[in-house]
Amino acid sequence: MRVRDLTISYGGEPVLEKVSLDVDEGRFVSLVGPSGSGKSSILRAVIGLQRPLSGMVEAAPARLHVGILFQDDALLPWKTARENVALGLTLNGMEARRAHAAADAWLERLHLKGLGDRFPRHLSGGQRKRVALAQVLAMKPRIVLMDEPFASLDAIVRARVVRDVVALVECERISVLLVTHDLEEAISLSDDVYLLSQGPRARITQHYPVPIPRPRDPVNTRTHPAFAPLYERQWADLSREVDNRAEAA
């Protein structure tokens, strides 16, 4: 999938200007940048929830093969975990019984066996996140857009959910475009990291390939020799970007 010269405005000055990035098949790509730089708007434009002022998304898979994981779980509170996971399948014509069987298989794969009858309110934050992930993966997406999906989880739960996500996308060869402001998370998960400047008129200012081999364990990745230099470089670039914008203001 190629994003080309994407410019997004909410009426006044563009939030993002001429943003271009590539997400090749099976690659895990992260987009980092300061808060308010419009990172989420790129994902919303890719999936069709936001109409860009100009630019385009090329070679994107068909709409149904693009999944999105929001920062909050966005599960329907009146549906059980099983019904939530099966929702995308039934909306696209699958018979309910088959969809529920597929949902149960995904719940088991995401360590939620036996919790299919629970409503979201009766699940922990980590369990809800896994249900949301199962809902997206059940649709067999070729690319998953992730909008800071792990931000609300505590450290231990977050590490476990992230490990499972990495294992699943590596196994299924799913491409991922992750939006985050966490540099450590971006490096430990990604094959490519793009740096977005401070908005308004935010742009991609750097592209960092991550030379850490797969398969990866996101926790141990932080001890890889390539991690620290890359983190320091990204941190310096991001700090400079924020300082430049503050001076300009």
Partner 1 sequence: MLLAPRYAWLRQLAAFAVVLAVWEAAGRAGGLNPMYAPNPSRVGAALVDLFADGRIWPHLQATFSAALGGLALGIAAGILLGVVAALVRFIAELLEPVMTLLNAIPRVILAPLFVIWLGIGVASKVALSFILVAVLIFFTVFTGIRQVDRRLVERIVTLGGGRWSLVRHVYLPSVATWVLGNLKIAVGFAFTGACVGEFVAATHGLGYLLSFAQSTYNAALMFALILLIMVVVLLIFAVAGRLERRLLRWN
Q: Which parts of this chain interact with partner 1 (CB under 8 A)?
A: 47-49, 63-64, 67-68, 70, 72, 74-80, 87-88, 91-92, 119-121, 135, 139
Minimum separation from the CB atom of position 216 to partner 1 (A)? 28
Residues 176, 147: Cα–Cα separation, whole Å: 11
Residues 156, 26: Cα–Cα separation, whole Å: 27
Residues 212, 5: Cα–Cα separation, whole Å: 29
Phi and psi, residue 205, nearest 5°: -110, -20
Minimum separation from the CB atom of position 82 to partner 1 (A)? 13
No. of helices (H) and no. of strands (E), the chain: 7, 9
Is the CB of 74 or the CB of 226 nearer to partner 1?
A: 74
Relative to beta strand 175-180, strand 143-147 is parallel
Is the CB of 114 or the CB of 225 nearer to partner 1?
A: 114
Short-list 64, 63, 62, 42, CA closest to 53: 42
Is the CB of 44 or the CB of 216 nearer to partner 1?
A: 44
Side chain identity, residue 200: P
Per the CB < 8 A criterion, the answer to whether 187 and 210 are in contact is yes
For residue 51, the 8-state DSSP code is -
Minimum separation from the CB atom of position 84 to partner 1 (A)? 9
Quick one: CA dihedral 61, 131, 188, 217, positive or negative? negative
Side chain identity, residue 157: V
Minimum separation from the CB atom of position 19 to partner 1 (A)? 21
Is the CB of 49 or the CB of 56 nearer to partner 1?
A: 49
Q: What is the DSSP string of 152-197?
A: TS-HHHHHHHHHHHHHHHHHHT-EEEEEES-HHHHHHH-SEEEEEP
Minimum separation from the CB atom of position 180 to partner 1 (A)? 19
Is the CB of 50 or the CB of 206 nearer to partner 1?
A: 50
Is the CB of 59 or the CB of 91 nearer to partner 1?
A: 91
Minimum separation from the CB atom of position 103 to partner 1 (A)? 13
Minimum separation from the CB atom of position 135 to partner 1 (A)? 8
Per the CB < 8 A criterion, the answer to whether 178 and 211 are in contact is no
Is the CB of 119 or the CB of 231 nearer to partner 1?
A: 119
